[in-house]
Structure 1
Amino acid sequence: MTKNLVLDPSHAEAPTRDHQHYPSSLPEAKETKLHPTNAGGENASLYFVGTATTILEWEGVRIMTDPNFLHAGDHVHLGPGVTGTRQTNPALGLHELPRIDAVLLSHYHADHFDEKVEASLRRSLPIITTPHAKDHLTSKGEDESFSQVYDLDFFQSMYVDIRKSGTTHEASSKRVPAVKVTGMPGKHVPQGMLSKANDLLGAVPPTNGWMLELGYKEGDGSSTDSFKNGYRIYISGDTLLVDELKEIPERYKGQNIDLMLIHLGGTTIPSPKLPLLMVTMDAKQGIELVRLINPDLTIPIHYDDYDVFLSPLDDFKKEMERAGLSQKVVYLDRKDQYKFAVQQGR
């Protein structure tokens, strides 16, 4: 049975538990970017906060990915004996957030869901995540557990329906905006002895990527068969270039992937000075993923915010230039936004 979440953006709720008054919108973007060759009709946006944290706005809802709002100098625990230090500041503070309707959490790791975020977010905030993360988020006791956590394994899907209070029956009976969320494969640790050791030790948590399909359901929205995609976003999550990713273009053969958010950085543990293990893609793996997925456009994120990153963004830029793909990438700095057009259905 397909899981279903209904969001009503007209029922505004504070993003954090101690928020009484909060902004009605995100801070004005430092720079707004459009598709290099296919701009026009933009009705959705992606705001880059920093590391893997973005905020997607469409049809009145805001969906936030991997919330991390630590500042330069703050530390995170990344595994037994491994810490990372933040090098940058986010585009806004945690308590400067406007209304957030749902969170996509790729995995339960402190650089993607830091302690301050975990302590502060309202407990009724819907979170879509991995089975591993759900176990942690829902087992904190009556007052501390999150109450709306949905878990998706690889290639499992759910729908997020957007229904605004006050919408007339006639209007709502024509089409309902919805986001189809599907878990995508991801692996921090490559197959082999290291993977088996990690399974035993639980040093690095299981991770997901995501496929987001923004579109509309016909009628009252009760039938998933009527869903028509209008824009498709693949989020790699923290993964290496593992064989499991090859299944993605097979499953989506003939279906355009409009945008890929790729997690880069070449994260190394315990540190770049002692790079024993790389757990996220570097530039060379990143360009291979671009070739594999073949999205219409790529936006790199998760590339310079912590001192555990070994592969700078400039390396990826050079790889894209060598491959002749400079017109198929947009680079966002923190507080930049990318605007794009979601079609009525295709």
Structure 2
Amino acid sequence: MQATVTFIGNATTLLRLGHFTLLTDPAFGPAGSRVYLGYGAWTKRVRDPVLDSLDGTAVDGILLSHLHGDHFDAAARRWVEPTLPIVTTPAACRKLRRRRYLAVRGLPTWECFEWTRDRQRLRITAAPGRHGPGLADRLLPDVMGSVVELEVDGRLALRLYITGDTLVHDALEQVPRRFGEVDAMLIHLGGTRLLGMLLTMDGRQGAEVAQLIRPGITVPIHYDDYQVMKSPLSDFVTRAERQGLTGIQPITRGGTLHLPLRDGIGGHHAESRLGEQHSQG
């Protein structure tokens, strides 16, 4: 058994976790396309997504951190069938149902959704997120992180934390308190700025979250696809190295990383898969 993440671009990844396949935050527009961020604000995409990995792939569902144009764009909306399950925030759920997406589930913070197949179970728990500073957060879409847990025969095989577009805030401390050891983390970075406000973690905040969560591996995503992103990946990597953080695993677009399964699951030790990456397409 394997667990892998394939990086398509921005916050879009393909997660193959045992018998399950999830797509996160689908944004398929090419470089040069523009997406709407609300309140009259637009941004342009500057990097092409690598969509080859989706060819012929059967997806069980979509994990949508929030309803922003750079996370669910027009190209993705044309691709997603109305009956494909989507797990997202309650606010995004209401909007998507009005757009006739029929299988949307909105999760309040700390609530769960599960899929079961054969002897495996995939559980998604909504984690807290805050997209903007102070009162500005109320003007932005509700956002959630996700704790994704794969179980085999009732035993935990993998715990993956996806931060979503959050800034550092006190509620994030509840993630390690509630769940304990995290095997892997997908961290949304980029230092997105709009009207001078920081809306996603920059390198400094990202290193702070990596220090807090202490996952086995940390995979940076969401850092240079759009013009509003001002903090390059190197900011995060440099700060993480200075703080002595280990397991930082950048991933190339179209590349696939094996995620560390726990000992006794899949016939190998977690440590044997760290850092293994290959390119697709």
TM > 0.5 between the two? yes
- The answer for the alignment partner of 2:150 in structure 1 is 214
Cα distance between partner residues in 1 of 2:207 and 2:16? 28
Structure 2: gaps (5+ residues) = 266-281
Structure 1 runs, 4 residues or longer, greater than 2 Å off = 58-61, 93-97, 193-196, 340-345
By how many angstroms is 1:93 displaced?
5.9
Amino acid at match of 1:208: M
- The answer for the alignment partner of 1:188 in structure 2 is 131
- Does the C-alpha gap of structure 1 residues 195 and 99 become closer, same or farther in structure 2, counting only changes over 3 Å? closer
8 Å CA contact 1:47–1:338 kept in 2: the answer is yes
Amino acid at match of 1:231: L
By how many angstroms is 1:97 displaced?
5.4
Q: Report Cα offsets for 1:310-338 as digits up to 9, x if no partner.
A: 1000111110111122x411010111110
Cα distance between partner residues in 2 of 1:87 and 1:158? 34
By how many angstroms is 1:73 displaced?
0.3
Amino acid at match of 1:234: Y
By how many angstroms is 1:121 displaced?
1.1
TM-score (norm 1): 0.73
- Does the C-alpha gap of structure 1 residues 285 and 206 become closer, same or farther in structure 2, counting only changes over 3 Å? same
8 Å CA contact 2:189–2:223 kept in 1: the answer is yes
TM-score (norm 2): 0.89
- Report percent identity of matched pairs: 37
Structure 1: gaps (5+ residues) = 1-41, 164-175, 199-203, 219-226, 271-275
Cα distance between partner residues in 1 of 2:141 and 2:158? 30
Q: Report Cα offsets for 1:270-324 as digits up to 9, x if no partner.
A: 4xxxxx2111000000000011111111000001000100100011111011112
- The answer for the alignment partner of 1:265 in structure 2 is 190
Q: Which has the larger radius of gyration?
A: 1
- The answer for the alignment partner of 2:102 in structure 1 is 147
By how many angstroms is 1:117 displaced?
1.2
By how many angstroms is 1:154 displaced?
0.8
Secondary structure at the aligned position of 1:138 is classed as helix
Amino acid at match of 1:237: G
Cα distance between partner residues in 1 of 2:223 and 2:50? 15
Secondary structure at the aligned position of 2:14 is classed as strand
- The answer for the alignment partner of 1:335 in structure 2 is 254
- Does the C-alpha gap of structure 1 residues 87 and 97 become closer, same or farther in structure 2, counting only changes over 3 Å? farther
Pick the aligned partner of 1:233 from 157, 160, 163. 160
Cα distance between partner residues in 2 of 1:74 and 1:293? 35
- The answer for the alignment partner of 1:56 in structure 2 is 15
Q: Report Cα offsets for 1:243-281 as digits up to 9, x if no partner.
A: 1112112212xx3100010000000004xxxxx211100
Secondary structure at the aligned position of 1:284 is classed as helix
